[in-house]
A and B are shown apart, each in its own frame.
Chain A
Amino acid sequence: MILAKDLTKIYSNGVVALDKLSLSVEKGEFVFLVGPSGAGKSTFLSLIIRRELPTSGFLTVNRQPVALLKKNEIAFLRRSIGVIFQDYKLLPNKTVYENISFALEVIETSSREIKQRVYSVLELVGLLNKARVFPSELSGGEQQRVCLARALVNRPLLLLADEPTGNLDPETSWEIMDLLREVNKRGTTILMATHNKIIVDKLRKRVLALENGKLVRDTIRGGYTLET
């Protein structure tokens, strides 16, 4: 699903965010991306969705060489990737339904299909009764579930999660993790950047540890640190 070879990203201010990073993630995997702040986790996610371009090296997502995509092909790459964020990035002036349907409107899906798919993901994330509510009326956990629903409504092959539990209490964090595991069971590849030691240690999934832009550990069923 994801293949990186000698991937390097140096920002214009000279900061080396990724340093010859090489890794691969297979279809259907659930992978944690861990490491201290500034290790390069978010940069790696940004390169995958082509928000940034690598300085050198090679990256493919679903066999597409991301850096070589033409401008009009980037949108199509992004349609195959769902993204969820720590700060949810919901539109405050749209209802829950509109926030999710928005992702389908932009790819010109028919009204009937939009309705069907939005209610289907709302059911999956347990927010059927909140469809007409605005994000400000929801708790943090519910907002993250809306964000997840928006990411899933396009039926992505890959789901990127950037600190999805960063703003949530432990109980709500587990609710989100349960949803992510359910989504993964249905076949979606998940790459989740996190600082949440408890979750990583408990779930025992594959762990990629980054430090100073380098891959320092790749463990199947690993913990947050080497010792755990």
Chain B
Amino acid sequence: MKPKTFCYFLHEAFCGIFRNSLISLAAIGIISIALVLFGLFYIFTVNIQHLGTLAWDKIEVRVFLKQDVSNTEKIKKQLTQIPGVRDVKFIPKKDGAAALERLLGSKNLFTDDDNPLPDCFHLSPAEKANIDEITRLASAISGVEEIVYGQKFVNFLKVLIRLVLVMGLVLMIFSALAVLYMVVNTIQLTVYARRNEIEIMKLVGATNSFIRWPFLLEGIFLGVGGAFLAVLLLTKGYGFLLGKLRRLNVYIPLLRCTEVNQPLIISLFAMGIFFGGSGSLFSLRRYLKD
């Protein structure tokens, strides 16, 4: 394509937007609403995932040893080698007793000789690690008496994270389809308003690709405009929400603006460009049949 031709396409795309300014504004508005919807689901999903990850980090698997086990270094080494174990911390029976005393508010609960508590290891599982597998492998180590972890909580958390992820994905797919539907319908209006132009272009011998280009660029510009508005609304809105929570002294460990904004901006602009462009091409189809 000659640079002059591309400049002509750009000029025609901008003229198309400004000549049909009301329809173009409506298209930008509708695209931005649809993208805001998508962005809200995105922000909700990534935050729930984040909260799930934070909760997962709090999970500890406690491995209690049999009384009078002396080879704790060897056991620690074996525990460290279990796949999915991020960190292993040894809690000797003496420290266990001290912790219990702190918890109960008593002093000198046990002496060194009559301390009934066993030595213990605290394992921190890595993100998404299979805790059942970790406990199975840990219980097979010689010297291990019992393994305790919040099994019910872990299972609940697993189901919750999966559920939110699936729901978020489904909602994002639906909102993406809604974006496409709205974009196609709105751009169809702009294409319809210019059907005579398309007909004349065909009659004077324009190829279909030549006709498509200005409309494709116009769709992309409308998509970018819609994405820009949506990004503005969502980033300002999310910043406002975090600020409000901070002022009210409500501590919910939500993702910071900088963590949310970058992927959000990239995905909204990518969606705006993709849906604006493809919506435009889709709307043109019936006018370019012959």
Task: Tell me the minimal C-beta distance from A169 to chain B in angstroms.
Answer: 25
Tell me, in angstroms, the Cα distance from A76 to B8 when the chains sit together: 20
Q: From known contacts A50-B290, A108-B2, A108-B5, infer whether A91 and B197 are also in contact, taking CB-CB under 8 Å.
A: yes
Does any Cβ of B come within 8 Å of A71's Cβ? yes
Q: Which B-chain residue is minimally distant from A108 (CB atoms)?
A: B5
Q: Which B-chain residue is minimally distant from A77 (CB atoms)?
A: B205
User: Restricting to B170-229, which residues have a CB under 8 Å from any CB of A?
Assistant: 196-197, 199-208, 210-211
User: Restricting to B92-119, which residues have a CB under 8 Å from any CB of A?
Assistant: none
Does any Cβ of A come within 8 Å of B19's Cβ? yes
Q: Which A-chain residue is minimally distant from B204 (CB atoms)?
A: A103
Does any Cβ of B come within 8 Å of A194's Cβ? no
Does any Cβ of A come within 8 Å of B4's Cβ? yes
Q: Which B-chain residue is minimally distant from A72 (CB atoms)?
A: B207
Tell me, in angstroms, the Cα distance from A150 to B196 when the chains sit together: 15
Q: From known contacts A89-B200, A105-B8, infer whether A75 and B290 are also in contact, taking CB-CB under 8 Å.
A: no
User: Is there contact, CB below 8 Å, between A78 and B196?
Assistant: no
Task: Tell me the minimal C-beta distance from B89 to chain A in angstroms.
Answer: 71
Q: Which B-chain residue is minimally distant from A51 (CB atoms)?
A: B290
Residues on the A chain within 8 Å of B203, using CB: 49, 78, 83, 89
User: Is there contact, CB below 8 Å, between A75 and B206?
Assistant: yes
Residues on the B chain within 8 Å of A76, using CB: 205
Q: Which of B2, B8, B196 contacts A91 (CB 8 A)?
A: B196
User: Is there contact, CB below 8 Å, between A74 and B197?
Assistant: no
Residues on the B chain within 8 Å of A107, using CB: 204-206
Tell me, in angstroms, the Cα distance from A57 to B137 when the chains sit together: 82
Does any Cβ of B come within 8 Å of A111's Cβ? yes
Tell me, in angstroms, the Cα distance from A83 to B197 when the chains sit together: 15
Q: Which A-chain residue is minimally distant from B210 (CB atoms)?
A: A106
Task: Tell me the minimal C-beta distance from B213 to chain A in angstroms.
Answer: 11
Does any Cβ of B come within 8 Å of A102's Cβ? yes
Does any Cβ of B come within 8 Å of A93's Cβ? yes
User: Is there contact, CB below 8 Å, between B8 and A102?
Assistant: no
User: Is there contact, CB below 8 Å, between A79 and B205?
Assistant: yes
Q: Which of B4, B196, B206, B290 contacts A106 (CB 8 A)?
A: B206
Q: Which of A50, A71, A89, A103 contacts B199 (CB 8 A)?
A: A89
| Of B197, B200, B202, B208, most A-chain CB atoms within 10 Å | B200
Would you give 16 A-B contacts (Cβ < 8 Å), ordered by A? A50-B290, A51-B290, A53-B290, A74-B290, A75-B205, A75-B206, A75-B208, A76-B205, A78-B204, A89-B199, A89-B200, A103-B205, A106-B201, A106-B210, A108-B210, A150-B204
In the complex, the 10 A-B pairs of residues with the closest C-beta atoms, listed nearest first = A79-B205, A106-B206, A103-B204, A78-B205, A75-B207, A75-B205, A108-B5, A93-B19, A83-B203, A106-B210
